[in-house]
Every structure is written in structure tokens, then in C-alpha cells.
Structure 1
Amino acid sequence: MNFIRKLLSSSPKDELVVIPSGQLYLVRSPTSPKGESECLYNDVVASIRETSIQYNYQLIIQKAFEEGEVSDREEDNDESSVFDDLEEGKDDDWTFLIDETLKFSRSVNKEGDTVIRWKDNTGDMGDYLQLLCDRSVKPSLLDQFMTTLYKCQFERKYKRSALSASESDLEEFKVGASQAKLHIPGYSNDADGEDDSEDEFHDANDVNDEEDLKDPHPMRLPAGKVLSQGECQLHLYDPVKNSFILQNETVIAKIIDLGNWNYWLSVVDRSSKGRQAITGSFITPDLNPVCNDDALAFIFNYVGENLALSWLLKFENLQKLEEFNSNVKTALWESLNRTKLDSVSESDSEYVLRAFDNLNVNDDMDAEFEEESEDEFDSAEESLLDNVRVSNLRQGTTRRNFSDDDDDSDRDETKERFEGSESNKGLKVGYKNDRTYVARGNRLGVFTSTEDNDLKFYTAIENIKNSKGQYIDPSKMMLHQEDRAMIIQDDSKPFELYKMDLEYGKIVEDWQVSKDNNVPVVEFGPSQKFSQMTGEQTFMGISSNGLFKLDPRLSGSKLVEGLRKTYKTKVNFTALATTELGFMAVANESGEIRLYDKLGGNAKTQLPGLGERIIGIDTSNDGRWLLATCKTYLLLIDTKITDGKNAGAFGFTRSFGKDSKPRPRRLQLTPENVAFIRNETGTGVVFTKARFNTGVNVDTPQTIVSSTGPYVITWSFNKVLRNDPQPYLVNRYEDTVMAEDFRFGSDSNVILALKDDVAMANKKSFKKPTNVSLTGKKKALSKTEVVYSPY
């Protein structure tokens, strides 16, 4: 054991994952005269660490000491050398080289406690060690710990990185599992190191069977026309080292047309003479492509069933990179739109391609927008959830997350109010009364903001019913008439809207949208951005093929026939927003955006779609800035016309010139962050509707907010315009974020509706996206805190 410790020296900074609390037992054979079980330590910390030898790892079991307590060794020898521990065994540490001979297993005992067990190869025949995990340890951490053990055994046995190892690759290390043959992309599993996979891979000109065409294997070259190929280096992102690691000096990156609007990206090992692919993927939005001109790098994601990887292709020069990037962008657009990009106008084609680029801001833009203070957007050094008031709607309680030093007397909560299994669904923030409304089933939770920027549970509106006595679940909501009323819609009743009196807490009017019930309302919103702060009665609505005005004062149907725009073809509208002056932005399924100055006329501007559905759209007060939300990215568009006879006007009131379409900015998470999030949560990025901060006389936004899964993301508006490489921050929560918005008049406070909770977060609690912040752990790690595992 001493020899192993000296050879495989490690340090706490190399910890991959930690179980912070448990008990260590020695379990002997039933025939042993020493007895069957002995508790060695009542409180231990178990960690997995890297060693100084590549592909080798240690399991460290360390006794946990109370504050002020020292080990026997420290008491006996206060002047011991820092090298003594390498020459003598630590009495309070147990160190094991992680190897498949230890036969790691996990089980649950009769009391329901999780036990991790392995052979004690230094003890008597049949001896085992057992870690009885504390019940406070989350199951997800236990899963992570075991997977890391399997990965470590894999790397020691096969002397290869386990970053791309799948679940089936690890089966042989699970005690009792079948001995599955391992297969790592781009490598042979033969002991002699020779590649026996030549017959498995083939050139792109070979004929493939129909099954391969439907679902090509990432390590095969499917049949098809090669549209582009180029030599480059291949790097793989390592989340532990937080960098891209070189995997292959020379590979060939190919874009292949499979037919029927399917395109494939394949990375081929050049040494295999074009027969062996290292990785491959359909060209879809999941690829999350990013081009970095400065680094001559093209970064993309591979998304498998159980893992996501972030790859980097480094090209020899800018020309080769740009050619490859242009072909990927074209293939992606054509696969989504099922038509050739060269069939659209040159200006539309340029608009589409620019949306995928990392654009540099021109001189005029630099002069117009000053740099913001770094202190304004940089995160504070505090835990992600410290000092955030959270209200639980299922239990009807309000609580605050406190640090260990907080006085218990400061904690407060209200009595239980809600029951049931529904989840929070919608969120509306008041402009006039500073209240927040959260939909949950057929009820509304009402919260009020306090002077110290907290949320406080105020009341509940329960058992919402229409005039027929039918329960109504608010799926869409709009505050109305100085925040005294709310217009709501139940998705199951698309032809009806309801007016709720918020003072009485009940629906007071049922509205029929059209005479023949032939106009299903897809979305509705205020006639002007701040109409809810006034007594304005009318509001806007869209159907799949038109937009219209609604007037509650009309008898019968509420649709104003003279103020309506209907398209003969189905344009599939999905989202609506208005400006302070009442200009309208409407988006659709394919990503097109139309800008109108008035209702009834043609759109002054029509921006081409990128092929993906826009789920939400927002505008700055004056209408200069548009913010469209798609599933995996946001689109920021400047509607100001910069040249020609209409220079200085916005696209709502004047048309862009033939060759002067705006320059869209695509806001997305980096591929490595996306891969990390997918591996961490098991799901990809799915953004909620993004919003600007807003308030009276706030024409230029400062911050953008959206969320995906348990993450809330804020973008600095100025950093986006400056093309800053790190424009966004993250804040992770324990539960899924359903919706979010800024407190009215502020860009510092974000109100969130989680699955069961409601919270207000200060912008300073957001962090730069790192392995630590994406897993929700503090930066300052102690030996008892959990460190992210790369597996």
C-alpha cells in the first residue's frame, strides 16, 4: 500500500467526485474467527482522485475530523516532514488503486441504506469493505460516484479516455453484468493494438443498406454525395480540465448529402485511408455549431442516447474554415426548410447565413453603446441560492435560503394553503401594482414584492370557473386595465377568452372570439406595450393565419371585423409582441418575422425564417430591438435601417432596402456548456420565452433573461452587441424553471416560477458558466463538498 501511495501521489484538487458522509465497515467471511462485521470509522469521506500516472485513479477513504480534532499521527509528531506520508501509511486514510479486481458493487440493505462494497485485497481471503452512505447523500450523487468508478476501471484497463464511453461499454465492470464487448470510437479493442474494423467502415461512395440510411452509425460513412471536406485537427472537450484536448493531428471533416434533405457531418481518421470514422452526426439544431475565426475552430456537439460530447475542428487557415462553416450552415437551413438556399433571394440568403456567424460590431455601434461596468454584470462570490426568498405553492409556504451563519430567528413561513399534484405553469408580473401572478392548475398564486427586494406570498385565487361552472386552467394570461383584471385562456378552449376580476378573485365575463367559432386564438397581447397600466379595453390577438383586434365592449363576438389581417395561405403564426406606440411583431413556425405599423395593412418588413419555430417574441419599448426565442437559441435583431432613403427609421414603419437586411445575432450557449448541461441533467437546451428588462422610459434594454431546465440565464445586452466571448451568466436551481421575467422597472431582480416554488433572484447571484456553477456547487470547496465528476 505504501508503494502505491508513493507512486500514485495525488492531491485534493484532483478529486473527481466525493461522497461527503458515510460509515466504513470491514465485512469478513462468515467462517472467520474474527467475526463477520466491524465498524472501522463512524464518519468518513469517500473521494475518487486522479493520480500522477495517466489512466490510474484512487479511491480514498478518509476519516472526518471535528473542528479542533487531530489525528493520532499529528499528536505524536508535530514536526513530521511533508514527505513522511509517502514513506509511512496514514492511520486515518485508506487508499485503493481503482481496478476491476476490486469488484465494486452497489446495493440497498434491509434498512433502506445504500451500500458500496469492494474486495479488500490486502486482507484475509473473502474480506470486503463496505461504505454505508449517509441518507442525506442524493441518489444522483451515488449514480455519479458509481459511474465514475466504472469509468476509472475502464481507463486503467484499456489505457484510453472514457469521455466517449457509453453505458454498454461499462457493463463489464458492473458486478453481475454481462461481459459486453467494448467499443470506443476510432480505436481498436485488440490487445495487439491493430485495427480490425476495416470491414466495418467504408468510403462515402460505397453502397449502404436502407437501415444505414435511416439511422447511420456515428462511426460509419453513410452513402451520399460529399459536399465539402477538409483536413483539420480533432479536439475533444474535457470538462474536468475545462479545455479541448487534442485527439488526432490529422482528420478529414466531411459534409455528406444523404438525400431527402438529410445531411451528415463525419470526421474521418486519415490514417485509416478514409475508411474509419471517429464521430458523425446528422446536421440538425442539436449540432449547436459555433465558428471561431480567431482560433480557426469549428465547434459542434455530438448528442447520443446517454451522453453528449463537444468536438472542435481546428483548420489550417481561415479560408478553409469559412468554406466548411458555410456548407454546414447551408445544410442546416436546407434540412429545416426542405428547399435549396440558392432558391431564395440573395439578401435573404445573406440574412440566413449571417444569423449563424459570430458577428463583429461595426464602428457606429461601438460608438453608440458604451461599455458597461464589469461590476454591474459580474457575479458576487456567494452560493447560487443564498439570500433568495422562495415560495412553495404546493405547500403554501414562504421560506428563505440562508447561509450557515444566519440567525434562525430571521426565518419565516406562512401556513399551508395548497395541495395537489399540479405544477406551476405560467407567470405574469404586474406593472402597476408590483404583484406577481403564478398559474397552477385551476388556481392563481398572488405574490407581492417587498421593499428589500423579496417576494411574499399574498393570497390565492382557487377553483377558477367560467360562467358554466367549468374549471378553467389559465394557460395564457395578460394583465389588463391597470392590473385590476386578467385576461386568461384555457388551451382546451381555444375559441374562448375569460376576464377575471382580480379584486373579487373570479371570472366575471366569458368571451366568444368570433361569431362562428372559427378563429382559434394562438396568442394575445396588449394593443400597446404598456396598455395594462391604463384603462385601455382593446387588445391584440393572432390565429394561425391572421392577426386581429379584440374589443370586450362589443356584444356577442369580440373580434373587430374592420381591424383584421387575414392571409389566404396558412402562415402558422406562433408569437406576438407590440411596442410602446402599438407597432406589431408577429412570428411563425418557420421562424419568419413580420413587422406592422398598423393593423389591416401589409407588413412593412418580412424577415426570412431560419427554419425553426419561434415560441416567443419581445420588443424594446421603442421597437428598435427584437428578441425571438427558438428552442435552442435566441435571435436578437436591430430593426433600425442604416442606409438608403429610409435610413434612421425602424422596420415597423419603413421597409429595408433590397440589399440592407438587418444583421441578426444568434444567442446560444457554447457547445461545451450545452454538452455539459445535457450530461448533467439528461436533457438538452429548451429555452423558455426570453425577455428584455423593461420599464417606462427604458428604450434600450440592459439585460436579457431566459431559462432551460433548472438553469436561468442572463445575457448582458451591451456584451452581446460588443460580441463579447462571455456574454451570459447562469444560476442553477434544484428544480425546473417554468417561466421567468424581470421585476418591472428593474434589470437587477428576476422573478421565477419553478415547478413548485416562486423566487426572486438578484442579478449578482448569477455566475459565469463553469463546471462548478453548472452543477450548482460553491466555488470554495471543502473536503466534504461534492466535486463534479467528468463522467
Structure 2
Amino acid sequence: MFAVRGLGKLIFGDEKNPELISLPHGDFYVTTTEGKKSTREKLFSDCQMALRRTTQKFQYQIVVSRAVDAKNPPEDDLEDEQTFLVDEAIQFRRRTDGDITSFVWIDVTESNEVFEFVCDKTTQKYALETFEATVYDCMYERKSQKSRDEATEQDIEAIKKVQLVPTTSSAIATTREKSVDDLTGLMSSLKTQEAKEKGPAGNEPLNSTLPTGDAQRMIHTVADLHLFDQKSNAFVPKVTNTDVRLLYLLPDWLSVSQGSKPLIAQLVEPSMNPVFNKEHKAFIWNYYEGTHVYSWLLQFSDKETIETFKEMFGRCIFEALNQTSFSKFEKGDQDYVINAFEEESEMAEDDLSDEEEELFHDVENDDSDTESNADHFADGTEKNKHLQVGYKNARSFVVRGDKIGVFQHTDDDKLKFYTTINNVRDLNGKPLNPKQAMLHQEDSSMILLDPKDNHRAYKMDLERGAVVEEWKAHDDVALNYITPEAKYAQMTNTQTLVGISPNALYRIDPRLAGNKLVDSQFKQYVSKNDFSVVSTTEKGYVAVASNKGDIRLFNEIGKNAKSVLPALGDPIYGLDLTANGRFIIATCKTYLLFIDVENKTDAKRRLGYEHYFPKDDKPIPRRLQLKPEHVAYMQEPINFTAARFNSGPNEETTIVAVSFLTASTGPYVVSWTLKKIRLGKIYDYTIKKYDDVVVSDNFVYGNDNNIVVALPNDVTTLSKKQLGTPRNILTTPSQNLRSRSNIVNAPY
């Protein structure tokens, strides 16, 4: 926007012209708040908004004027022009919901009124940005009493940081991010010294307190409250008939109270690890207090009540993450979001392959130690960062700063240190500490991305142990992430690959002279999609995820996406596809998103890459997450690393890498089987605990029983037999988790 301000001399130059700039078409609204009630009213239709000089130097006004027909004068008593002094106190902001842009501000003389000019859809983006920048220039002149020409970028940014006063629903979306920070700080201040002195988890948390302020009640119901107790390994009833509310209070809060006594007050956000169990009419989640993690359960009286609560909760968490009104989305997208919180949804058994039957047989846990390679590759201050498991040469590679450790896979499914590639440098001799590494061309080379230059990739010859080529994607297009042009393309001599920038998807061909971006296979978006990761199928279909949380499916690079899966709101930073592309596993911080993209309504059962989904029949995503009571045992927030399917010539059957990092209590590797997920058994997972943080892990190609695990200072292998059930890994033998049928007075 600071670049737009370069037009300031043209806008402000003619002092004889009172009007600086205008937006000729739009609708004008006012939202008035009285107590807890807000009312939105349209004042003008098809009106104009302009910035005008006043008779005083450095003073400006926003003027909204309606079109007046002399033959049909307006029937209200409003003045045809509404004026507002441009001052920092009006807290002017631009809002965008889809293709609708509006400007919102308050009247400094009427603090309970918020005004909104909704721009016509045909208004050019450039005009919107110029108008907004001019408003901030006017604010600067009034505040500093000097010309906008003296303003620095920092001066304007300081003015922009002023948040809109949170008085109505139209203002809430623009204030959520700041409000979360403010209220999180408020809740932190409530953590008293008593919390620090509490014993180990299992004790009851302190009563929490809602922040002060008017709240709009979104739902009010009654439920029984249970708390998971580690000593008895069960949810223990605490209070019956509690008062349960979801409150629209900058941002949304979950409130549970007993009469006037508050029991729980908690921000609605992903670390709650929310779970809805339809069978037992229960809502289960985590509550964090200091260094302790608790697991609460609310049991509702009937299925209709929990369905209503689930729908409203989905709306709350979606709006908190997206800062966008849930009502703006079509019903199909709304269902996609809400259904993601369902615990179990069984798929048809005849839709499953016979090969997966064996996965139902639990293996006996093997706690035998694995051989360490720490002594061979653990020098200096750098830690292991990236893991690449080979496809053809039975080797694995671990990137550690400007070194690459090479490990040989043995016949007994172990790893043996082979060699170290030291002093990784670019062609100019500068050290490379890659942000991404990818095996290429039959494992003979590795492609490296440098975090200091987001336009280039470097090809390292692994036999020579040196960078031999430098590829520049494009002068004006970033190269933020790469993936093979097709799944298992690394097993061939294929040279091309796929790259993304925050707004573009394209193919890279290193054989091209100059820039390596293939112009005919380049799709760039004008909007800020914020692409984060990309993955491909065996046919070369492409899935692209974003930091907004949506996923686009392409059957061909350079064309529009065939399907767009809506965002739940959490950034996606890991993405993997089965070879046939039917199943997607996307990694977010606190959960994995499992999606079947086969189009069930299509007679040919085509996938979402090949044919769009009906707008009201999107696939049902499944959130793979840990049970809240298991997280209570771990006593650490969840932070998953990128999840992977097992790979090989046979159909994928297992998901792994499903490791998450913890700061002090040790890491865990978690594994789900594909068949159990498809039967709705999303909490039927196995776990392995390590004594150090897990950096990355992945299956050995063609072997779903052998997993390579990279720790900060070690590389080792893990067999499925070493993965145990949560009750064996997370508890002592005398504290095994009870089965559901044995939990007295606790339905989960």
C-alpha cells in the first residue's frame, strides 16, 4: 500500500479541488448497539463515498452522498450527505469477504454506531487500495499537523495498527487477531501462584473467569460435566445440569457454570482438541492451565442438543480462525467444516480392499532397543532437520546444517552409518543450510532450496557430494516449495518437477535456458492464496494446500483447479497423497485432515482432480487427532510434524510420521491404519515414545513395517512391533485406560 501512496501528489496536488478521491458506487449501512442487541440498517442504496478537504488546513472528511431523484424524493428525514471527520479515532478499516469489499469506521460523536460502505463488485482493487491509503494520509496530516509528504512508512503503519472498536458484529471480524492476543494475556494474568504450586495433573483446575464486556449468546443449553481422572483412568462426574454457553465475545468463548458460579471459561480455538461423540452424546476437549493439561467432557441429554451445539461450535472455531463470517459460505462448505468434528463416520465395508483385512490384527508390542547412530553424525551445534528416505539405493539422508548424513539400510531392517557429505556449498562457495531437500533422478541427486534465496534451487550430485547446478525459477516468481512431477518420479530419470510460490503453481524444467519455469504450465492467482505445500499423484495430478487451510485439486498444471476443498482455518504445512490420489492427508498443528476425494455422486466415480464436487455434496473430512485424555497424560500441547502414507508398489495401508514435538516430556510417533480410518475408527492408533524430540519420520519404500526416525542428534529405525496401544505407552501397568464399557458414569 505504501507504493500506492506515490500517487499522493496527484491526489492532494490541486488545492482548489475540494474532493481528493471518490468511490462512485456502493451501499451505506449503520449498525447500532444498545446493550447486548445490535441492529443493522441500510441508510443509502447506490451512493458515493468521497474524501474532501475542509476549510481548515490538514482537516478532511469522509462524505457519503446518495443519488436523489427529484421526481421520487426519499421518504426518510436523513440528510442526503453524511459527513465524518477523518481522525485516527474513527479507526477506519477495509474488510473483504469473498468478492465483497467494504470500508468500516465509527463516528467519534456516536461511539455505539458503526458505519459501513459496501463497495460495488465492479470497483477495481486498485481504486480500493488508493482510497484506503489516502484515508491514512489524511489521518497523518490531522495528527501531525504537517504534510503527508513528510510521513514515513513507519508513520503510516503506526496509524494502521489502530484496531476497529469492537462494538458490533460487523466490527468483530476485523478485531479477532488482536482480541485473541489481548484476551489470552488476560487469561494468563488469572493464573495465580496457586496454579504453579498445584500437584501433578489429575487435580482439579482453578475456576477460570470470563473477560468483562457485553456478549452475544450463540447457544445456551444444559449438560453434565465430567473431568478425566488419571488415578482412576476414567471420566469422573463433577457437576450435573451445568449451564453451557457459547459466547460471541471477541473472540468466541465456551462458558460452563453452576448457577452463578463459573466453572470453565475458555477461548474456542484448535488447541482445545475438540471431539464430538454422537453415540454417547458427548463433547470432549482439553483445557490448559499453566503447565497442566486437563480433559473435560460434557454429556448432553439428547442427540438433537449435541447436534445443535456441534454446529454452533464449528461456526465459532471457523470464524475465530478465518476472521470471516460463516454465513458467507454455501451450505456444502458449511457442512464440510462442521462434519470434520464428528468422531466416527463409518464407510461402507464393501468399499474396502481385501488386502487391508490383515491390518485388524494387533501385533504384540516389542519394546526392544534400536541401534543408535548418534556417535557418527552428531557434531557441532546444528541439529538434524530434514529426512529423505531413498527409493532405489536402500539409503536414507539426513540434512544437518551444511552437512548431509548418509545411512545404509541393512537386511535386518536396521540403519548403518555410511558417510557424511561435509561443507555443502552453492556454486559461489557460500554455505547452504537448506529449508527443503528432495531426492531426484533415481536417488542420484538431491534438490535443495535455500531459505536465503526463494527464487533458486540447487542440484547436488550425491556421488560427488557437491552442488553441480543452480536453477532459477523466475525473476518475479518465488520458489517456496517443490515436489516430484509425479509420485515416485524419483525412481526414474525424470528431470522436471513442480514448484509453488505463495500465489502460483508451475512446472520447472531444468533443461530450459535461463529461467526454468515453464510458461505454458504456469497458473498464477491475483488473490493472496498463501500456498504452503504441494503434492502429486502417480498420474501427475496435483494438490496444493495453503496457510489458510484450503486445498485445490488440479488435473493439469497451468489450468484452473477442478475442485477446491474449503478451509477449516488452520494452516496446512504437510501434504501427502496416495499413489492413485484418492486419499489426502493434510497436516495442521493439532490434527491431521484425512479426505477421500472420490466423487460419490459421479457415475464414473471420478476423483476431485478430474471432476468438480457438487456445491452441496463436498467430501466429509476426518480430523485425526489424539484423544483429549491421552493429551492429558502427555501434559504437552500437540504439534504434529508432516504426516506420510507408506509408499511402495502395493496399495497404501498405513499413515505415519505422525510425530509431534514436545518441549520437555518427550516425543511420540503415532500411526493409524487406513482401513480403520475408513471404518470410522479414527482413535484406534498406536504410539511409540522416544527420549528426545522427533524431527521427522517416514516409511522405508515398499516396507510398511519399517519406519526411519530422525531425532535431533540421532537416526534410527522403528518397526510396527515397537508401536504400542496408548494404554500401554502412556500409563503404567496399574493405570491402564479402561475400556468404554467399564467406565462408570463416564460415556467415553
Q: TM-score, normalised by structure 2?
A: 0.69
Q: 1:508 to 1:330 in 2, by over 3 A?
A: same
Report 1:35-50 matches (<5 A).
Answer: none
Looking at structure 2, the residues matched to 345 and 184 of structure 1 have their Cα atoms a distance apart, in angstroms, of 40
Q: Tell me how far 1:705 sits from its aligned partner.
A: 3.3
Answer yes or no: is 1:389 the counterpart of 2:371. Answer: yes
- In the other structure, the counterpart of 1:264 is 253
Q: Tell me how far 1:774 sits from its aligned partner.
A: 2.8
Looking at structure 1, the residues matched to 386 and 528 of structure 2 have their Cα atoms a distance apart, in angstroms, of 28
Report 1:698-777 matches (<5 A).
Answer: 698-709=650-661, 710-724=667-681, 726-770=683-727, 773-774=729-730
- What is the one-letter code of the residue matched to 1:382? D
Answer yes or no: is 1:499 the counterpart of 2:481. Answer: no
Further displaced range: 220-229 or 278-287: 220-229
CA contact (8 A) 2:627 2:683 kept: no
Looking at structure 2, the residues matched to 655 and 639 of structure 1 have their Cα atoms a distance apart, in angstroms, of 10
Further displaced range: 744-753 or 556-565: 556-565
Report 1:537-552 matches (<5 A).
Answer: 537-552=495-510
Looking at structure 1, the residues matched to 493 and 337 of structure 2 have their Cα atoms a distance apart, in angstroms, of 41
Looking at structure 2, the residues matched to 609 and 374 of structure 1 have their Cα atoms a distance apart, in angstroms, of 31
Further displaced range: 736-745 or 490-499: 490-499
Report 1:60-75 matches (<5 A).
Answer: none
Q: Tell me how far 1:778 sits from its aligned partner.
A: 7.6
Looking at structure 2, the residues matched to 222 and 365 of structure 1 have their Cα atoms a distance apart, in angstroms, of 54
- What is the one-letter code of the residue matched to 1:169? E
Answer yes or no: is 1:246 the counterpart of 2:231. Answer: no
Q: 1:322 to 1:779 in 2, by over 3 A?
A: same
Report 1:471-510 matches (<5 A).
Answer: 471-510=431-470
Looking at structure 1, the residues matched to 682 and 610 of structure 2 have their Cα atoms a distance apart, in angstroms, of 34
- In the other structure, the counterpart of 1:34 is none
CA contact (8 A) 1:169 1:183 kept: no
Task: Give 3-state SS (helix, strand or coil) of 2:452's partner.
Answer: coil
CA contact (8 A) 1:497 1:511 kept: yes
Q: Tell me how far 1:389 sits from its aligned partner.
A: 2.3
Looking at structure 2, the residues matched to 320 and 617 of structure 1 have their Cα atoms a distance apart, in angstroms, of 35
- In the other structure, the counterpart of 1:459 is 419
Q: 1:184 to 1:666 in 2, by over 3 A?
A: closer
Looking at structure 2, the residues matched to 757 and 171 of structure 1 have their Cα atoms a distance apart, in angstroms, of 34
CA contact (8 A) 2:196 2:290 kept: no
Q: 1:327 to 1:443 in 2, by over 3 A?
A: same
Q: 1:223 to 1:671 in 2, by over 3 A?
A: farther
Q: Tell me how far 1:658 sits from its aligned partner.
A: 2.8
Q: 1:637 to 1:292 in 2, by over 3 A?
A: same
Looking at structure 2, the residues matched to 246 and 391 of structure 1 have their Cα atoms a distance apart, in angstroms, of 49
Match of 2:296 among 311, 330, 352: 311
Report 1:305-704 matches (<5 A).
Answer: 305-363=290-348, 372-373=357-358, 376=361, 378-383=362-367, 386-392=368-374, 395-396=375-376, 418-514=378-474, 516=475, 518-645=476-603, 647-677=604-634, 679=635, 683-696=636-649, 698-704=650-656
Q: After superposition, what is the alpha-carbon deviation per residue over 1:17-61, rounded to whole angstroms, capped at 9, x for unaligned?
A: xxxxxxxxxxxxxxxxxxxxxxxxxxxxxxxxxxxxxxxxxxxxx
CA contact (8 A) 1:379 1:765 kept: no
Q: 1:507 to 1:333 in 2, by over 3 A?
A: same
Q: After superposition, what is the alpha-carbon deviation per residue over 1:411-463, rounded to whole angstroms, capped at 9, x for unaligned?
A: xxxxxx65201110000011111110000010000001100000110110011
Task: Give 3-state SS (helix, strand or coil) of 1:373's partner.
Answer: helix
- Contiguous gaps of at least 5 residues in structure 2: 1-189, 662-666, 737-748
Task: Give 3-state SS (helix, strand or coil) of 2:357's partner.
Answer: coil
Report 1:155-166 matches (<5 A).
Answer: none
- What is the one-letter code of the residue matched to 2:707? V
Q: Tell me how far 1:357 sits from its aligned partner.
A: 1.2
Q: After superposition, what is the alpha-carbon deviation per residue over 1:503-561, rounded to whole angstroms, capped at 9, x for unaligned?
A: 011111122221x2x22211101111111111111111000000111111122221112
- In the other structure, the counterpart of 1:223 is 214
Match of 1:292 among 269, 277, 283: 277
Looking at structure 2, the residues matched to 722 and 241 of structure 1 have their Cα atoms a distance apart, in angstroms, of 30
Task: Give 3-state SS (helix, strand or coil) of 1:747's partner.
Answer: strand
CA contact (8 A) 1:185 1:219 kept: no
- What is the one-letter code of the residue matched to 2:698? D
Task: Give 3-state SS (helix, strand or coil) of 1:324's partner.
Answer: helix
- What is the one-letter code of the residue matched to 2:561? A
Q: 1:247 to 1:778 in 2, by over 3 A?
A: closer
Q: 1:172 to 1:490 in 2, by over 3 A?
A: closer
Q: 1:644 to 1:465 in 2, by over 3 A?
A: closer
Q: Tell me how far 1:331 sits from its aligned partner.
A: 0.5
Structure 1 residue runs of 4 or more that deviate by more than 4 Å after TM superposition: 170-174, 219-222, 364-371, 777-781
- What is the one-letter code of the residue matched to 1:447? F
Q: 1:542 to 1:172 in 2, by over 3 A?
A: closer
- What is the one-letter code of the residue matched to 1:578? T
CA contact (8 A) 2:344 2:681 kept: no
CA contact (8 A) 1:617 1:689 kept: yes
Looking at structure 2, the residues matched to 762 and 673 of structure 1 have their Cα atoms a distance apart, in angstroms, of 22
CA contact (8 A) 1:296 1:317 kept: yes
Match of 1:169 among 184, 191, 194: 194
Report 1:199-210 matches (<5 A).
Answer: none
Q: 1:712 to 1:171 in 2, by over 3 A?
A: closer
- What is the one-letter code of the residue matched to 2:660? T
- In the other structure, the counterpart of 1:197 is none
Answer yes or no: is 1:185 the counterpart of 2:206. Answer: yes
Q: Tell me how far 1:313 sits from its aligned partner.
A: 0.6
CA contact (8 A) 2:343 2:682 kept: no
Task: Give 3-state SS (helix, strand or coil) of 2:730's partner.
Answer: helix
Looking at structure 1, the residues matched to 345 and 331 of structure 2 have their Cα atoms a distance apart, in angstroms, of 21
Looking at structure 2, the residues matched to 716 and 486 of structure 1 have their Cα atoms a distance apart, in angstroms, of 30
Q: 1:388 to 1:379 in 2, by over 3 A?
A: farther
Q: Tell me how far 1:277 sits from its aligned partner.
A: 0.7
Looking at structure 1, the residues matched to 205 and 711 of structure 2 have their Cα atoms a distance apart, in angstroms, of 39
- In the other structure, the counterpart of 1:282 is 267
Q: 1:713 to 1:672 in 2, by over 3 A?
A: same
Task: Give 3-state SS (helix, strand or coil) of 1:389's partner.
Answer: coil
Q: 1:644 to 1:551 in 2, by over 3 A?
A: closer
Q: 1:369 to 1:665 in 2, by over 3 A?
A: farther
Looking at structure 1, the residues matched to 523 and 455 of structure 2 have their Cα atoms a distance apart, in angstroms, of 18
Looking at structure 2, the residues matched to 780 and 571 of structure 1 have their Cα atoms a distance apart, in angstroms, of 48
Looking at structure 1, the residues matched to 265 and 351 of structure 2 have their Cα atoms a distance apart, in angstroms, of 40
- Contiguous gaps of at least 5 residues in structure 1: 1-164, 175-181, 187-216, 397-416, 782-791
- In the other structure, the counterpart of 1:150 is none
Structure showing greater radius of gyration is 1
Task: Give 3-state SS (helix, strand or coil) of 2:632's partner.
Answer: helix
Looking at structure 2, the residues matched to 589 and 522 of structure 1 have their Cα atoms a distance apart, in angstroms, of 13
Looking at structure 1, the residues matched to 255 and 517 of structure 2 have their Cα atoms a distance apart, in angstroms, of 53
Q: 1:184 to 1:486 in 2, by over 3 A?
A: closer
Q: 1:445 to 1:232 in 2, by over 3 A?
A: same
Looking at structure 2, the residues matched to 778 and 474 of structure 1 have their Cα atoms a distance apart, in angstroms, of 44
Q: After superposition, what is the alpha-carbon deviation per residue over 1:281-335, rounded to whole angstroms, capped at 9, x for unaligned?
A: 0000011111111222111111122211110011111111111122111100111
Looking at structure 2, the residues matched to 508 and 600 of structure 1 have their Cα atoms a distance apart, in angstroms, of 29
- In the other structure, the counterpart of 2:227 is 236
Q: After superposition, what is the alpha-carbon deviation per residue over 1:472-519, rounded to whole angstroms, capped at 9, x for unaligned?
A: 0122111111110110112122122111000011111122221x2x22
Q: 1:752 to 1:173 in 2, by over 3 A?
A: closer
Task: Give 3-state SS (helix, strand or coil) of 2:647's partner.
Answer: coil
Q: 1:269 to 1:593 in 2, by over 3 A?
A: same
Computed over aligned residues only, the root mean square deviation of the Cα atoms, in angstroms, reads: 2.4
